[in-house]
Amino acid sequence: MFDFVHEKKRLVQIVLAVIILPFAFWGVDSYRRSGNAEAPASVNGAKITQQDFENALRQQQDRLRQMLGGNFDAAMFETPEMKRAVLDNLVAQKLLVERAKAAGLFVSDAQLAQVIQSIEAFHENGRFDKKRYEAALAGQNMSPLMFEARVRDDLLGQQMRDGYVQNGFASSSVTDNVIRLNEQQRLVSISTVPFQSFADKAKVDEADLKKYYEQNQKEFQTPEQAKVEYVTLSADSLSNKVQVTADEARQYYEAHLGDFGTPEQRQAAHILISVPLAAPQAEQDAAKSKAEKLLQQVKQNPAKFAELAKANSQDPGSAANGGDLGFFGRGMMVKPFEDAAFALKAGEISGLVKSDFGYHIIKLLAVKPSGGQPFEAVRREIENKLHQQKAADMFAELAEKFSNTVYEQSDTLKPAADLAGSKIEQSGWLVKGAGANAPWTAKMLEAVFSDEAVKNKRNTAAIEVAPNTLVAARVVEHKPAAVLALTEVRDAIRQKLLNQQALDLAIKQGETLLTQLQHGDKLTLGWSASQTITRAQRGQLDMELVRQIYQADAAKLPQYVGAKAGQNGYVLVRIDAVKEAGAIDDMKRARYAQQLRQLTGEEMFQAYLADAKKQATIKVNLPEKAAQP
């Protein structure tokens, strides 16, 4: 059980995302909103708050921004579909946690500590660092209590999911059939009917152009655009206005001496006889009896501790190393284990120690005494921390004044810029509804293109676009949405219609050729060199074509299939040979079986979740469009 963190690696990555991706961007503009907003949803009476919902939206937004880079479009998060998907995930999580608690599942403090302490974002020099942990949470406006409650709920939900996903079923016969289907090879040749071959047969007149233009006005509409001037108030921009004195750094050091010491660490080995807390008494008695016998052997011959651990310990994470758990500090092990380990002297062996995991026999191998770091060694770290704190404090002091100034003097940004000590900057053309990176978030663009900003020529409100960052803008140039004139798009329409006609002719010709081939006609076509494909390795062929290839009767070859090749024409495929999957060895069968078990387990979990939702009282208060499934 001490390899819990290794077994939960995927969950640790999920929890890590809570820290890496901003989880609480709740800032000044949020404080200005009404605190009585209706909760977006509730599950059996338990509310999902507006804050929970917006945090989850922001978290998903930042996750996709990291994944997609320059292809990221923030506007997608304003769609009803995305909002509903995020809310559905929150509903599912709350429902899973409720079900987990009702089923008697729980997350012990030891398990919670192990997960959190394994997160590298909280490590310093390869070890969990309390200061870094607290600083990371403070940077996201979260207390340790809030974060630990969220992680505990994540772990509970994961326990419910794992109960299904890790218990999927795949019989040997089903596994073998899947292998045979997936690894059957088919030898194919390709012949294409390109649309370019029919370009000289395509004809378009002026009436065709006008008809297409009139029927597809949206295609030629330019979006609403605006140029703005804007001013930013941020903790970063204020950082050059604050100073940290040597006395302040020294005072902080002396007030937090405990934060700059190296805590005592201990290296221990153990022998674990595992038994669940809820196991029947007979099973617990048997485990204790076995542990007592091992303890007698250890006491008789302490030098054989590692040998006995390798042979008998039921902790897979340490048994192979003679039970060695490495160095650890206080708070990293379950309490009974920690208390026993820190009560021993180097070389001593404990009696039986009972924990949530079973019975332990502990041997203390070594002790690293605690030690403090001198002021000069941590001075730069302290100065940076105090500098950030002062800048954040100054931002907090100015934020309300900045917001009020933007509102009260709505015909100019100069007073707000003077207050912030920032320059008034100019944007390029901004496009309505086209999400971009900060500061032009979806919320900021919504303010820029509002009637107040465009028609009434007033400043936008001060909008929080990132933590400790407010932006206010003013429209200086505006282009309304408009439809391009036919003269501007005539050539593009002509080429599009010509290409479509040529494509239609190519498809018609391809379908005719396919019919002839399937009827046994001997045609002279240019076929490519043969290539071998499987369902999983299909080369450049699209899924629809591969589906047809594998639906074709292999009893009589060659067989012919065909399909439209996107906007390029038509593709004909000749199937020349079929090679069945080879002998199935145990390793391959085990690999496929594992994948099938995961698949069936996930299907069982989704079925369970769907049933749980049907039985629950779920209320959704999103706008009507967003509330549609």
Whether 470 shows a pLDDT value over 70: the answer reads yes
Distance from C-alpha of 318 to C-alpha of 325, rounded to nearest angstrom: 6
**Class at the top of the CATH hierarchy for domain 4-169+606-620:** mainly alpha
Range name among 62-66, 229-233, 540-544 with the lowest pLDDT average: 62-66
Q: Which residues, 6+ apart, have CB-to-CB distance to 192 below 8 Å?
A: 565, 568, 569, 570, 571, 572
Per-residue pLDDT reduced to its tens digit, 292-348: 999 999 999 999 999 999 999 988 778 888 999 888 887 778 889 999 999 999 999
Distance from C-alpha of 575 to C-alpha of 531, rounded to nearest angstrom: 10
Name the H helices within 409-485.
414-420, 442-448, 451-454
The answer to whether 333 touches 114, Cβ cutoff 8 Å, is no
In order, the DSSP letters of 576-596 are EEEE------HHHHHHHHHHH
Which CATH code for domain 264-369? 3.10.50.40
Where in the chain are all domains bearing CATH 3.10.50.40?
264-369
Q: What is the pLDDT of residue 259?
A: 74
Mean pLDDT, residues 168-185: 91
Q: What is the pLDDT of residue 38?
A: 66
Residue 425 per-residue DSSP state: E
pLDDT band with cut points at 50, 70 and 90 for residue 573: very high
Name the H helices within 313-450.
335-343, 375-408, 414-420, 442-448
**Class at the top of the CATH hierarchy for domain 224-241+395-480:** alpha beta
Per-residue pLDDT reduced to its tens digit, 48-104: 888 788 878 877 877 777 777 666 666 666 678 888 888 999 999 999 999 988 888
Range name among 327-341, 414-428, 492-506 with the lowest pLDDT average: 327-341
Q: What is the pLDDT of residue 533?
A: 93
Distance from C-alpha of 381 to C-alpha of 396, rounded to nearest angstrom: 23
* DSSP-derived 3-state class of residue 407: helix
CA nearest neighbour of 105 among 166, 159, 149: 159
Count of residues making up the chain: 629
Mean pLDDT, residues 561-578: 93
Q: What is the pLDDT of residue 512?
A: 96
Q: Please indicate, yes or no, whether the overall pTM of this predicted structure exceeds 0.85.
A: no
Alpha-carbon radius of gyration of the chain:
33
CA nearest neighbour of 299 among 244, 360, 361: 361
pLDDT band with cut points at 50, 70 and 90 for residue 6: very low
Cα dist from 501 to 191, 199, 211, 504, whole Å: 21, 8, 15, 5
Cα dist from 325 to 269, 337, 348, whole Å: 5, 12, 16
Higher pLDDT: 5 or 359? It is 359
Where in the chain are all domains bearing CATH 1.10.4030.10?
4-169+606-620
Q: What is the mean pLDDT of the chain?
A: 85
pLDDT band with cut points at 50, 70 and 90 for residue 148: confident
Residue 165 per-residue DSSP state: H
The answer to whether 348 touches 363, Cβ cutoff 8 Å, is yes
Q: What is the pLDDT of residue 260?
A: 78
Strands, E assignment, 467-568: 469-479, 482-483, 531-533, 559-564
